[in-house]
Amino acid sequence: MSDAQTRIDETVKSNDVVLYMKGTKDMPQCGFSQRVAGVLNYMGVDYTDVNVLADDEIRQGIKEYSDWPTIPQLYVKGEFVGGCDIITEMTLSGELDTLFDDNGVGYDKDAAEKIREANA
């Protein structure tokens, strides 16, 4: 395992929720990262953000780690969940709520419901 892979593995396994993204949760640097961070922020999820633009090894390494070609990438309890489209679908269907509930991840259920109502 490369140094980048080791760092990714340690980050993913030592944090309940991790978002590998372009930019930070406070200042996303692409629309897809902004959408996923926006959902997590609005729902009040406590998560670790990793800015792939700050480290080329991590930027490439995360794609190899997950075998997923795009960023952002969301991990919950060490498991890869998906990118922007998957997280959007899971949010709107309620699957993300279930994933968080099943893994003991705290979030604002009312905020999640408001997202669904706004997109109905």
Q: What is the pLDDT of residues 24-62, one digit of tens each?
A: 999 999 999 999 999 999 999 999 999 999 999 999 999
Residue-number span of the structural domain to which 103 is assigned: 3-118
Binding site for [2Fe-2S] cluster: residue ranges?
Answer: 30
Nearest to 108 by CA among 42, 53, 9: 42
We report the CATH number of the domain holding residue 33 as 3.40.30.10
Q: Is 74 helix (H, G, I), strand (E, B) or coil?
A: strand
- Give the chain's domain count: 1
Region 85-90 average pLDDT? 97
pTM, 2 dp: 0.96
Q: Answer yes or no: is pLDDT of 1 > 70.
A: no
Indicate the SS3 state at residue 6: helix
Alpha-carbon distance 12 to 110, whole Å? 27
Residues at the binding site are 30
